[in-house]
Chain A
């Protein structure tokens, strides 16, 4: 959110009200329920005992949780490191107008529209040596590729699957950002004798800053919450190689059928994401603020 020169107007609250109502209904009420459960031991619908922070403590001490958290962080960082530059590069190479632009847009966006379990299924098949094009080809080329047996192969496959699935999100956002740069900037750059690299660095990248921030935060959040695709593809294996945080939570919650600890973990999970996003968000805002100073009139 930019902060230069905005007039104060409390009546703006009216404009925000519909949004608040929607989200309060979908979020606050349910969240209160979860908080409620997280501090109780629900032995049966009639018997509930207040246990305070007991669940939170036991969840935090869980070493398996630490493992899952570490794996999750590595995954999310890897995802960002690949998808953001790749998405930008893709946006830069997509045509700006004409029928080709529309065709490329539809093709690029396709992977975003596939239900996530189907994504998992596609890659599950695709990577198999017996019935999958990728698996079969890799085997034929001499690689002993097995995403079910080798942890590293599993990791890479999950990563490539995510890149395949979500890079278009970054690309579409970056593309929309690029299209909104008025021609005059490019014309001025030509007149100033700027190289293509300079155009990218001084015009395109700064103008894409806002959309890129959305892209980074979205991808980070979503990759941190990822569940369906890796679950369908590897089931979390081999062993725990691809068991990320969401799956860990579901395993614990469903396995033990205990609402209390599950609720507690839910909240902790949520808070972790919140904290990391808060840090990331503020860091990116400060980056943005460095290039904009409030005007003094």
Chain B
């Protein structure tokens, strides 16, 4: 009976993976073709395989600097978001205090705001602060939606840990920082991994704010890619190659956090 069930699940999983990978495969396929080939013929793999598009990206500073800029501000943002979210999530999870439910919901509402609403104010704010076109500006702007998300996710995972663990630790003589780092954090590994991943992801793909607050020095890759529409039409090939390359950092990040998510955690202290 279990074999049957495994079979059904495996088929379903395989079907979904196919569904997920096909469009990406198609983009990879295109990235190894030239524009002429793309527009003229239809084939499942490149007839005239070429690295030219990738070469363009790796040698043209306006392309590769975009990646580096994105990585910088996304990294800064992820670290800040998760760090400030951890204590706050713990507070929401473990204590009641004046206005706690309202603050929590208010935090969530920041995630619900269309970024377009903040476009102009942000522009003015960061210009006034002299932070336009810096990585830190984009990192801070993205805190708007990432911090609430991190708090939200972490609170959910923290609430799943029985409070007995905290109390046992205090009885055993742990100080709060030691307890938090040595006992609590390992238990919510999955949550930290998920929160970090989502912060990374939402910051990495955000276009509107990142493009508005940067011009040259901190221009992210997402902005660079939107300029591939030129007078001669869409530069499909380079766009495809750039697209492929934007997936790489994220894939690496999820590879690193997979242990936190996949292995889960054991309940209680053994």
Contact = CB atoms under 8 A, between A and B. Distances in A.
Direct touch of chains A and B (CB < 8 A): yes
Interface of A: 1-3, 5-10, 12-13, 15-16, 18-20, 22-23, 25-27, 29-31, 33-34, 37, 89-90, 92-94, 96-97, 101-102, 104-118, 121-123, 125-126, 130-134, 136, 164, 168-169, 172-173, 175-176, 179-182, 184, 196, 207, 210-211, 213-214, 217-218, 221, 225, 227-228, 246, 249-250, 253, 259, 266-267, 269-270, 273-274, 277-278, 281
* Most central of B93, B116, B190 by chain A CB within 10 Å: B116
Interface in B242-270: 242-243, 246-247, 249-251, 254-255, 258-259, 261-267
Nearest to B22: A133
Contact of B190 (A22, A130, A176, A273): A176
B207 A112 contact: no
B194 interface: yes
B120 A180 contact: no
B30 interface: yes
Interface of A is mostly: helix
Given A179-B264, A180-B264, A113 B205 contact: yes
Contacts of B26: 122, 125-126, 132-133
B17 A108 contact: yes
Contacts of B163: 5
A196 B264 contact: no
A16 B87 contact: yes
Contact of B225 (A13, A117, A126): A117
B231 interface: no
A26 B110 contact: yes
B144 A26 contact: yes
Give the top 8 A-B pairs by smallest Cβ distance, nearest first: A113-B250, A30-B121, A179-B264, A26-B144, A15-B91, A33-B121, A12-B91, A15-B87
Given A19-B84, A19-B85, A106-B258, A121 B239 contact: yes
A179 to B, nearest CB: 3
B88 A19 contact: yes
A21 B188 CA distance: 25
Given A18-B88, A34-B117, A117-B222, A111 B265 contact: no
Interface string B16-33: 110111111011001000
Nearest to A25: B140
Given A30-B118, A112-B201, A196 B9 contact: no
A8 B147 contact: no
A179 B17 contact: no
Contacts of A2: 93, 159
A26 B143 contact: yes
Given A108-B17, A109-B251, A164-B20, 19 more contacts: A1-B92, A1-B100, A9-B97, A16-B92, A18-B84, A20-B103, A23-B107, A23-B144, A27-B110, A27-B118, A110-B20, A115-B204, A115-B246, A117-B222, A118-B246, A125-B26, A131-B38, A246-B114, A266-B117
A26 B96 contact: no
A13 B90 CA distance: 11
16 contacts: A1-B101, A10-B97, A25-B140, A26-B143, A31-B117, A93-B13, A105-B258, A106-B254, A115-B225, A117-B225, A126-B26, A131-B38, A172-B197, A176-B261, A210-B159, A259-B120
Interface residues of B, number: 106
B76 interface: no
Contacts of A211: 156
A22 B143 contact: yes
Contacts of B100: 1, 12
Nearest to A112: B201
B204 A113 contact: yes
Contact of B5 (A23, A25, A164, A196): A196
* Most central of B93, B118, B265 by chain A CB within 10 Å: B118
B5 to A, nearest CB: 6
Contact of B152 (A5, A9, A214, A259): A214
B12 interface: yes
Contact of B109 (A116, A132, A136, A274): A274
B266 to A, nearest CB: 7
A113 B20 contact: no
B50 interface: no
B151 to A, nearest CB: 6
Contacts of B153: 173, 214
A8 B96 contact: yes
A16 B122 CA distance: 24
Nearest to A254: B116
Contacts of A277: 108-109, 112
A270 B113 CA distance: 6
A247 B87 CA distance: 37
Contact of A27 (B144, B191, B239, B259): B144
A179 B190 contact: yes
A164 B109 contact: no
